[in-house]
């Protein structure tokens, strides 16, 4: 199966400023950013991983993998997944493509706390021309350079494995 970057970006465009009623809105429970990006990546992959502890899935607010809504667990799943579902690599900004995932750290503690979807990239990827979509602080096509961050990492989605 191939990761459909266009479908992930199309989903982000549709839902960046709204909430899909098929998924719980976690804004009041620490933020909806990783939930939103998981939805986008699922729109582009069509495959969840239902492994009990280390999977990536959403059934309901109470039946979901930690990686569906947690910044670090999402990163760990995407960069270590050898089973069903999407998988990627920690990559330099120069490899950014629409449908990839960006994570940001703010402040002095340097822990990553925000997940965003790359929706467009200029010819030579840079913070000025990498455009992002996000929930919690809703955005679509917002330049990476407009965020006041202390660190960023790119998860380049490589492909999808079937069930």
Taking the domains of the chain in order of start, what are their residue ranges? 5-161
Alpha-helical regions (H) of 4-130: 5-15, 33-45, 66-69, 71-80
pLDDT in tens, 31-46: 899 999 999 999 999 9
Q: What gap in Å lies between CA 8 and CA 47, rounded to an integer?
A: 13
Give the length of the chain.
163
Read off the pLDDT band of 134 (50, 70, 90).
Answer: very high
pLDDT in tens, 92-132: 999 999 999 999 999 877 799 999 999 999 999 999 999 99
């Amino acid at each position: 199966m191939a990761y459909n970057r266009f479908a992930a970006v199309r989903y982000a465009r549709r839902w960046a400023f709204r909430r899909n009623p098929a998924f719980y809105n976690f804004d009041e429970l620490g933020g909806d950013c990783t939930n939103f990006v998981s939805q986008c990546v699922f729109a582009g992959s069509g495959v969840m991983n239902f492994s009990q502890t280390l999977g990536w899935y959403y059934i309901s607010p109470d039946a979901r993998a930690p990686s569906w809504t947690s910044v670090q667990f999402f990163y760990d799943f995407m960069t270590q997944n050898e089973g069903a579902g999407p998988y990627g690599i920690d990559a330099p900004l120069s490899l950014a493509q629409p449908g990839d995932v960006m994570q940001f750290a703010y402040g002095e503690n340097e822990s990553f706390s925000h997940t965003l979807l790359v929706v467009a990239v200029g010819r030579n990827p840079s913070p000025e021309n990498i455009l992002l979509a996000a929930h919690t602080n809703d955005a679509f096509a917002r330049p990476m350079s407009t965020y006041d961050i202390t660190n960023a990492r790119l998860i380049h989605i490589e492909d999808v494995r079937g069930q």
